[in-house]
Amino acid sequence: MRLFTATFAHETNGFSPIPTNLDNFREGLLHRPHRDASKRRETSSVEGVIGARAVARGYDLVEGLHAVATPSAPINDADYAALRDEILSDLEAALPVDAVALFLHGAQASRGCIDCEGDLLSRVRRLVGPTVPIGVELDLHANISAEMIGNATCIIACKEYPHTDFGDRANDLLDVLEACVQRRAQPVTSWRRVPIMGIFHTTREPMRGFIDKVMALERDPRVLSISITHGFPWIDAPLVGAGIIVVTDNDAALADTLSQTLAEELFSLREAIAAPRLEIDSALDQALQPRRGLCVLADTSDNAGGGAASDSTHILRRLLERGVSNAALGMLWDPVAVEFAFAAGLGARIPLRIGGKVGPLSGDPVDVEAHILALNPRARQFAFGVEQTLARTAEIDIGGIDVVLSSLREQTHSPECFTDLGIDLARKRLVVVKSAQHFRTTFEPLAEEIIYATGPGSSSTDFSSFTYHRLQRPIWPLDPNTTLLTGA
Ligand SMILES: [Zn+2]
C-alpha cells in the first residue's frame, strides 16, 4: 500500500499575544524527510507517529512536510499558504497513492482562514480525487467543521488528555485506511456538534468512564471509530465547541444513533466533567496546607501549550508576597533574563526584572535580587517520551523560590526542566508548573497532591474574561440556558 503522510499542526489561540509566522515553525518543527533524510524520526511527539507505524506495517511510505509550532496567535496568511502548498506539492509529486494519512491539530487558523484543516483537506481531496481514502488524526482540542468532515474519509482524534494515545490512534487510522484500500470497509461518518466549552480531563470521573464506554462501543465490528472532540475555546469562531464523530462501516443509521446518544450524554455531563478551577489565592491556600510530600500546582491560565505567553507573574508575585519558601516555579519564558543570567555567570547575585513582558495578561514584571544557581546551555524535557530541546535555561533563587527561566517558549512537560538544573523536587513543598494538564503524565508520580489554579492569561478557563464576537451562541457555560438543541 502506497501511503502519503504529512504533519501540519498549530493550535491557534485568538487571544494569544504571540504572533505566528514561519519562524515559529522553524523553532518548533519544520522537517522535510525527502530533502533531509539524516534528521532522525520523531523530533516531536506527533511527527512520525503515523509514519513509524506505516513503516512497521510494510507500507510504501512517502513523507511530505512535517510542520509543528507551539500554540500562539493566528498564522500570517502567506506563511500558512506556503506550508499548506508545500504539503500539496509533496502530495502531487507522490501521486498516485493508495491513501493519505495526515496528522493535523484541528484548531488551526490563519489571520484570514478560521478553518485551516478544512481548507487543507478540501485541497487534498481535489488533488487525489473522490475515491482515494484520506485519513486524519487530530488532537482532541479540535473545533470540527463540515468541510473537514466532508473532505476526509475518516477522522480520528486522540481520546486521552494528557494526549498519551497518539500512537494507538495512528494505528486505528491505518487500520481503517488499509480496510478501505483492500475494499473491506466503506466508512460513513456522523458528526454532532456539542455546544459546550471547557477543559475536560480524561484522568477524572465521569469523563474517564465516558471514554471507557466509548472504547467499549468501538468493539462492535460495525463501528470503525468514535472520537470525542473537546473543542478549543480560545478562538473567536463559530465552529468552537465539542463534538462526537462516529465512523461506521457503511451503516449511516447506526452512526447517527450513536453520535446522537453520545452527544446527549456528553452534554448532560458538562458540569461534572469541567476541570476543577481555583483562583490563585484559594489554590495557594490549599497548596500550602501542612503536608509531607510535594504539591504540584498547575498555572493553567499561562500554558504555552494552549497559546499563552508563559511569562505571567501572577502566581510568582503572590508567592513572594506571602513569603513562601522551599518552592520551585517554571518554566517562565524570559529570553532576556536568561541572557543576563548567562552573562552574569553562575553564583552571581544580580538585580533582575523577570516576566510580565508580553502583554497585559502577563501581569507586571517582577524586580528581584536574583542568585544564579544553575545554567543549562542545552536544556531538555520529555513530551510523551519524546525528548524536546529547550535551548538555554537558568535557575535563579529569589528568597527561597527556585525559578526556572527559559529562552524557548514551551509548556512544562516533565521534571527534567527542573532536575537537570539540580533542583531536587522531592525536597520541595511546592512546584508551580506552567501547563494545563500534560505535565500530569510525569509529575503525578512525584506529587502528593495536584492543584489546578486559574488567573489572568490567554488560556484561562474563565471564558467570560474574553470578548467573543463570532462565537456561535448559545454555548455553555457562557449561556447557562443552552440546550443541545438550541446550541446545535
Ligand atoms: Zn490538545
What pLDDT was estimated at residue 44? 63
Do 318 and 284 form a contact (C-beta atoms < 8 A)? yes
Q: What is the arithmetic mean of pLDDT over 369-390?
A: 94
What pLDDT was estimated at residue 487? 79
Q: How far is the CA of 374 from the centre of ligand 1 (A)?
A: 32
What pLDDT was estimated at residue 157? 98
What pLDDT was estimated at residue 127? 98
| Pairing state between β 223-229 and 2-9 | unpaired
User: By C-alpha distance, which of 154, 153, 155, 152 is closest to 142?
Assistant: 155
Task: Give tens-digit pLDDT for 256-297.
Answer: 999 999 999 999 999 999 998 899 999 999 999 999 999 999
User: By C-alpha distance, which of 7, 204, 26 is closest to 108?
Assistant: 7
What pLDDT was estimated at residue 36? 76
Q: How far is the CA of 305 from the centre of ligand 1 (A)?
A: 8
Q: Distance between CA 226 and CA 266 in Å, rounded?
A: 13
Strands of 349-354's sheet in order across: 278-279, 447-454, 294-299, 430-433, 327-333, 401-406, 386-398, 366-383, 349-354
Query: Which residue shows C-alpha cell 504533519?
Result: 7
Q: How far is the CA of 212 from the centre of ligand 1 (A)?
A: 19
Task: Give tens-digit pLDDT for 398-429.
Answer: 999 999 999 999 999 999 999 999 999 999 99
Q: How far is the CA of 68 from the centre of ligand 1 (A)?
A: 13
Q: How far is the CA of 247 from the centre of ligand 1 (A)?
A: 21
Q: Distance between CA 206 and CA 258 in Å, rounded?
A: 19
Q: How far is the CA of 153 from the centre of ligand 1 (A)?
A: 22
Looking at every residue in the chain, the average pLDDT score rounds to 96
What pLDDT was estimated at residue 201? 97
Q: How far is the CA of 387 from the centre of ligand 1 (A)?
A: 18
Q: How far is the CA of 383 from the centre of ligand 1 (A)?
A: 12
Q: How far is the CA of 341 from the centre of ligand 1 (A)?
A: 33
The answer to whether residue 45 scores a pLDDT higher than 80 is no
The answer to whether residue 379 scores a pLDDT higher than 60 is yes
Q: How far is the CA of 180 from the centre of ligand 1 (A)?
A: 28
Q: Distance between CA 326 and CA 427 in Å, rounded?
A: 8
Crossing angle between the packed helical segments 77-94 and 116-128, to the nearest 10 degrees: 30
Q: What is the arithmetic mean of pLDDT over 233-239?
A: 96
Q: Distance between CA 358 and CA 11 in Å, rounded?
A: 19
Task: Give tens-digit pLDDT for 347-357.
Answer: 999 999 999 99
Q: How far is the CA of 297 from the centre of ligand 1 (A)?
A: 19
Q: How far is the CA of 161 from the centre of ligand 1 (A)?
A: 7
The answer to whether residue 40 scores a pLDDT higher than 70 is no
Do 30 and 89 form a contact (C-beta atoms < 8 A)? no
Q: How far is the CA of 291 from the centre of ligand 1 (A)?
A: 32
Q: How far is the CA of 57 from the centre of ligand 1 (A)?
A: 27
What pLDDT was estimated at residue 170? 97
Q: How far is the CA of 257 from the centre of ligand 1 (A)?
A: 27
Q: How far is the CA of 289 from the centre of ligand 1 (A)?
A: 31
User: By C-alpha distance, which of 253, 254, 231, 234 is closest to 244?
Assistant: 231
How far apart, in Å, are the Cα atoms of 382 and each of 30, 376, 377, 385, 410?
19, 16, 17, 5, 11
Direct distance between the N- and C-terminal alpha carbons of the chain, in angstroms, rounded to an integer: 39
Task: Give tens-digit pLDDT for 100-110.
Answer: 999 999 999 99
Q: How far is the CA of 326 from the centre of ligand 1 (A)?
A: 32
Q: How far is the CA of 165 from the centre of ligand 1 (A)?
A: 11
pLDDT band, residue 46 (cuts 50/70/90): confident
The answer to whether residue 217 scores a pLDDT higher than 60 is yes
Q: What is the arithmetic mean of pLDDT over 337-363?
A: 97
The answer to whether residue 47 scores a pLDDT higher than 90 is no
3-state helix, strand, coil in the chain (%, to 5): 30, 30, 40
Query: Which residue shows C-alpha cell 466503506?
Result: 186
Q: How far is the CA of 141 from the centre of ligand 1 (A)?
A: 5
How far apart, in Å, are the Cα atoms of 201 and each of 172, 452, 478?
22, 11, 20
The answer to whether residue 39 scores a pLDDT higher than 70 is no
Q: How many residues does the chain have?
A: 488
Cis peptide before 331 (omega within 30 of 0): yes
| Pairing state between β 2-9 and 99-104 | parallel
The answer to whether residue 41 scores a pLDDT higher than 60 is no
Q: Distance between CA 27 and CA 320 in Å, rounded?
A: 33
Q: Distance between CA 27 and CA 440 in Å, rounded?
A: 25
Q: How far is the CA of 59 from the centre of ligand 1 (A)?
A: 28
Q: How far is the CA of 160 from the centre of ligand 1 (A)?
A: 9
Q: What is the arithmetic mean of pLDDT over 195-216?
A: 98
The answer to whether residue 181 scores a pLDDT higher than 80 is yes
What H or E segment, with its residue span, contains residue 23? helix 22-27
% residues pLDDT > 70 (the chain): 98
Q: Distance between CA 12 and CA 34 in Å, rounded?
A: 28
What pLDDT was estimated at residue 488? 75
Q: How far is the CA of 410 from the centre of ligand 1 (A)?
A: 14
Q: How far is the CA of 233 from the centre of ligand 1 (A)?
A: 11
Q: How far is the CA of 382 from the centre of ligand 1 (A)?
A: 16
As given in the structure block, the three cell numbers for residue 44 are 516531536
Task: Give tens-digit pLDDT for 433-475.
Answer: 999 999 999 999 999 999 999 999 999 999 999 999 999 999 9
**One-letter amino acid of 293:** G
Q: How far is the CA of 139 from the centre of ligand 1 (A)?
A: 5
Q: How far is the CA of 242 from the centre of ligand 1 (A)?
A: 13
What pLDDT was estimated at residue 486? 86
Q: How far is the CA of 163 from the centre of ligand 1 (A)?
A: 7
Q: How far is the CA of 140 from the centre of ligand 1 (A)?
A: 6
Q: How far is the CA of 199 from the centre of ligand 1 (A)?
A: 10
CA of residue 16 relative to chain centroid, distance = 14
